[in-house]
């Protein structure tokens, strides 16, 4: 997912992760390791609806376009 520098997660060595955001990835580990893909989709859509004031249908469509393509979910 394209991120601006202020949103990068952090690797265990302190470098920035270009793959994950600061809310999902800190110190080289996922902040919610038990999170399922379905939960990640719901969480993302809910955030876009609540914070970005995106219509629910658009938020769900955008989440389904982006989240499954992240490296974390590519193995599923």
| One domain, residues 42 and 73 | yes
**CA atoms of 20 and 8, how far apart (whole Å):** 6
| One domain, residues 2 and 21 | yes
Could you tell me how many residues make up the chain?
Answer: 76
Question: What pLDDT tens digit does each residue of the chain (76 aa) get?
Answer: 556 778 899 999 999 998 898 989 999 999 999 999 999 999 999 999 999 999 999 999 999 999 999 999 987 5
| One domain, residues 28 and 39 | no
- Cβ-Cβ contacts under 8 Å for 15 (sequence gap 6 or more): none
Beta bridge partners of 21: 8
Enclosing domain of residue 60: 35-76
């Amino acid at each position: 997912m394209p991120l601006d520098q202020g949103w990068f997660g952090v690797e265990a060595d302190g470098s920035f992760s270009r793959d994950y955001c600061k809310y999902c990835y800190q110190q080289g580990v996922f902040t919610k390791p038990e999170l399922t893909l379905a939960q990640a989709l719901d969480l993302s859509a809910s955030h876009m609806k609540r914070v970005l004031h995106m219509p629910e249908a658009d938020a769900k469509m955008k989440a389904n376009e982006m989240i499954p393509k992240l490296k974390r979910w590519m193995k599923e």
